[in-house]
Structure 1
Amino acid sequence: MENLDVLVLRRLSAWRAEGKKALLATVTRTWGSSPRPLGSIMALSEDGAVVGSVSGGCIEDDLFYRYTAGEEKSALQDSSRPCLVQYGLTAEEAFRFGLPCGGTLEILLEFNPEPEALQSLVDALDRGQLMQRTVTVKTGAVKQQPVDNPTAFYFDKTALSNTFGPEFRMLLIGAGQLTEYVATMALFSGFAVTVCDPRIEYRKDWSIQGVTLLSHMPDDVVKGFQADARTCIIALTHDPKLDDLALMEALESKAFYVGAIGSRRNTRARRQRLMEHFDLTGEQLSRLRGPIGVYIGSKTPAEIAISVMAEVIAEKNGVELPESVNITYIKEQLTKRIA
Structure 2
Amino acid sequence: MKSIEQFVLGAALDFLKRGEAGWLCTVVQTFGASPRPLGSMMAMNAEGAVVGSLSGGCIEDELLAKLHKGALASQLPEILEYGVSAEENERFGLPCGGRMQILIEPIFATSDRCDNLQALCDALADRRAMRRQVDLQSGQWQLEHVESCQPLALTHDTLTQDFGPRYCLLLVGANELARCISEIALAMDYRVVVCDPREDRREHWSVSGAELCGLMPDEAVSQFSDPFTAVITLTHDPRIDDMALMQALTEPLFYVGALGSERTSQKRRQRLKQLDLSDKQIGRLYAPVGLAIGSKSAMEIAVAVMAQLTQLRASIQSGKGGVRV
Mapped partners of 1:183, 1:14: distance in 2:
32
Cα deviation, 1:224-266, whole Å, max 9, x if unaligned, reads 33x2221111001111110011011111111111101111121
Choose which of 86, 93, 96 in structure 1 pairs with 2:91: 96
Q: Give the C-alpha shift of residue 54 in structure 1.
A: 2.0
In the TM superposition, 1:273-284 aligns within 5 A as 273-276=271-274, 278-284=275-281
Q: What percent identity do the matched residue pairs reach?
A: 43
Verify the 8 A CA contact 1:2 1:191 in the aligned structure 2: no
- 3-state SS in 1 of match to 2:138: coil
Aligned to 1:166: 165
Identify unmatched segments of 5+ residues in structure 2: 318-325
1:183/1:138 CA distance change after superposition, 3 Å:
same
Deviations 1:7-48 (A, max 9, x none): 211122122222233211111222222222322211122232
Distance, in Å, in 2 between the alignment partners of 1:305 and 1:144 is 38
Q: Distance in 2 between matches of 1:103 and 1:188?
A: 26
TM normalised by structure 2 equals: 0.90
**For the residues of structure 1 that align with 2:114 and 2:280, how far apart are their CA atoms?**
47
Match of 2:77 in 1: 82
1:315 matched to 2:286? The reply is: no
Within 2, Cα distance between the matches of 1:298 and 1:13? 45
SS in 1 for 2:69: coil
TM-superposed deviation, 1:150: 1.4
* SS across alignment from 2:230: strand
Matched AA of 1:49: A
Give the corresponding residue for 1:337: none
Q: CA deviation at 1:145?
A: 1.7
How much has 1:71 moved relative to structure 2?
4.5
Number of aligned residues: 313
Q: How many angstroms apart in 2 are the aligned matches of 1:290 and 1:253?
A: 17
Q: Report the equivalent of 1:231.
A: 229
Q: Which residue of 1 aligns with 2:21?
A: 21
When residues 20 and 185 of structure 1 are mapped into structure 2, their CA distance, relative to the original with a 3 A threshold, is farther
Structure 1 stretches of 4+ moved >4 Å: none
Verify: 1:109 aligned to 2:107, yes or no: no
**CA distance in structure 2 between the partners assigned to 1:210 and 1:10 by the alignment:** 22
Helix, strand or coil for the counterpart of 1:101? coil
Following the alignment from structure 1 to structure 2, what is the Cα–Cα distance between the partners of residues 109 and 305? 39
CA change 1:239–1:224 in 2 (3 A) is: same
> CA offset at residue 88 of structure 1?
0.9
Q: Find the residue that maps to 1:272 and give its secondary structure.
A: helix
Q: Does 1:264 align with 2:259?
A: no
- Residue 94 of structure 1 aligns to a residue in which SS? helix
Confirm or deny: 8 A CA contact 1:6 1:164 kept in the other structure.
no
| Residue type at the aligned position of 1:307 | A
What is the match of residue 52 of structure 2?
Answer: 52
